[in-house]
Amino acid sequence: MKKIYIFDTTLRDGEQSPGVNLNTQEKVEIALQLEKLGVDRIEAGFPAASPGDLAAVNAVARAVKNASVIGLARSREKDIEAVSEALKGAQDPCLHLFLATSPIHRQYKLRMDKQQVLETAEAAIRYARKFFDKVEFSPEDAGRTELDFLCEVTEMAVRAGATVVNIPDTVGYMTPSEFGNIFKTLRENVKGIEKIQLSAHCHDDLGMATANALAAIENGAEQIEGTINGIGERAGNTSIEEVAMALETRQSYYGAKTSLVLSEIYRTSRLVSKLTGMVVPGNKAIVGANAFAHESGIHQDGMLKEKTTYEIISPETIGLKESKLVMGKHSGRHAFREKLLDLGYDLNEEQVNEAFAKFKDLADKKKNVLDEDIRALIEEKLITTPEVFSLNTIQVAYGNHSVPTATVRIDTIDGKVLEEVALGNGSVDAIYKAIDKATSEEVELEDYKIKSVSQGRDALGEVHVILAQDGISVQGRGVSTDILEASAKAYIDAINRLIDKRKDPGSARRDKMSLI
């Protein structure tokens, strides 16, 4: 069975999704979960973008022990040196270099001819090998590059010392047959191609990223680059979980598989969705809420007789388990701890005690506490930002013939209690204006999202907000059975993140460049 290496770029290309801005702690948390998932290579960021990005990549490099950690660089010496600095302490460091090769990029972006591109890329690879044993080179926009020139570029990369050559379909332009043919041609025509691994990096602009990645595997690719939930620039990247499950489910066809721990897929998807604020569509393959739901009477009848009539993947395979313990206000600490372990959370005693207290508060408000409720409570506490402000109480007066009024009390880190009242054109607007007055922070609300964590009238509500201030953009999260309380928590969480982000202006204002 052919081994397909998984190169995860959730922390780099995935973070380029509009509205996503992960802090260092969040990047480390995702990286550790990717390590648990069994990803082979983790692209942690673009160190030359800012001091904050360099520090975040370094934090990931020091935390991860069982996967190669990768930093991205343009074909410039300073970028290469920044990655070298960022990956100090990494168990298995790797540099990812790129330079555009397509006619449109050569003419309008680089203003270089073919020879200049070859010379620039070769010099960069040779310089990189002074710092790294492993160097991946990507000819950006390879999909729209002349095939004979792409062969020439790949041969140069092999000769210069690259260990992996990645073929990016940067703008999602390729069809599976075209993209597969690129790999077939490279295998047949590039001298020394057996010395390197060929990799595929696809974007989903025409909805063919997964199909293109699989076509690349059929034609000799040994590595697939992608993101969890398929997030990324524009329409996103190849969805790693889709490729992994396609190879697993159709082993007899592809004759290849990954080394991913498939039972960690769902939890990884949840974590990435939670921390990026990007909701997974219900009809998303593998990890969507409806991926294992059956409403049609004919389908239900078939499922009751034999599950494989309408399910080609068992939900247990990706880590979805039916609840064995019904959790409610009478549940004890032992049952709660077993439930946490069943859901994949291995917490220390202090964390369990804190989570159990939150669970008991929720159980007083809900008859049955579902797995999704517990996940939301735990994940809300796993990633924390220093709390300069925390919500004490809110009170809202609202009527359809009166102006909404909100009173908020906020605790500060130094023990003070701030109280303010404000009017608004709605309850949430009034709450946010009162918080602005109490915290003395002038912010702009760029986005507000609300969703139900579980089902029923007593379901937990989850609110995501994006706040902007002086060029800094952050997201905040809040969870509660009361959506107004969740809204207030999310807003205060975002303000705390803004304050924390102001301590690192370079990271806050880093340029999210559109890369490969």
133-188 pLDDT tens trace: 999 999 999 999 999 999 999 999 999 999 999 999 999 999 999 999 999 999 99
Distance from C-alpha of 327 to C-alpha of 61, rounded to nearest angstrom: 38
Cβ pair 366, 376 in contact under 8 A: no
Q: In terms of Cα–Cα distance, which of 52, 115, 51, 110 is closest to 76?
A: 110
Average pLDDT over residues 3-25: 93
Please report which helix (H) or strand (E) contains residue 430, including its range: helix 427-439
Q: Which ranges in 227-280 belong to alpha helices (H)? A: 240-249, 251-254, 265-276
Q: Identify the band that residue 297 occupies on the pLDDT scale cut at 50, 70 and 90.
A: low
Q: What is the pLDDT of residue 510?
A: 46
DSSP states along 32-46: HHHHHHT-SEEEEE-
Q: What is the pLDDT of residue 495?
A: 95
Which CATH superfamily does the domain covering 389-505 fall into? Alpha-isopropylmalate synthase LeuA, regulatory domain (3.30.160.270)
β-bridge pairing 5-8 and 223-226: parallel
Question: Per mean pLDDT, which range of 78-92, 246-260, 283-297 is the poorest?
Answer: 283-297
Average pLDDT over residues 477-500: 92
Instruction: Give CATH 3.30.160.270 domain extents, the chain.
Output: 389-505
Question: Per mean pLDDT, which range of 10-14, 66-70, 129-133, 341-345 is the poorest?
Answer: 341-345
SS3 220: coil
Q: What is the pLDDT of residue 248?
A: 97
Architecture of the domain made up of 2-276: Alpha-Beta Barrel (3.20)
φ and ψ at residue 329, rounded to 5 degrees: -70, -15
3-state helix, strand, coil in the chain (%, to 5): 45, 20, 35
Distance from C-alpha of 449 to C-alpha of 289, rounded to nearest angstrom: 18
Q: Identify the band that residue 374 occupies on the pLDDT scale cut at 50, 70 and 90.
A: confident
Q: What is the pLDDT of residue 475?
A: 85
Average per-residue pLDDT for the chain:
90
Q: In terms of Cα–Cα distance, which of 241, 265, 247 is closest to 316?
A: 265
Burial class (CB in 10 A: 0-12, 13-18, 19+), 184: middle
- What Rg value do the Cα atoms of the chain yield, rounded? 25
Q: Between 352 and 441, where is the model more confident?
A: 441
Using DSSP, how many helices (H) and how many strands (E) does the chain show?
A: 18, 16
Question: Per mean pLDDT, which range of 106-115, 271-280, 284-293, 423-432 is the poorest?
Answer: 284-293
Task: Decide if pLDDT at 294 tops 60.
Answer: no
Instruction: Give CATH 3.20.20.70 domain extents, the chain.
Output: 2-276
Q: Which residue has the tokens 């302490």?
A: 89
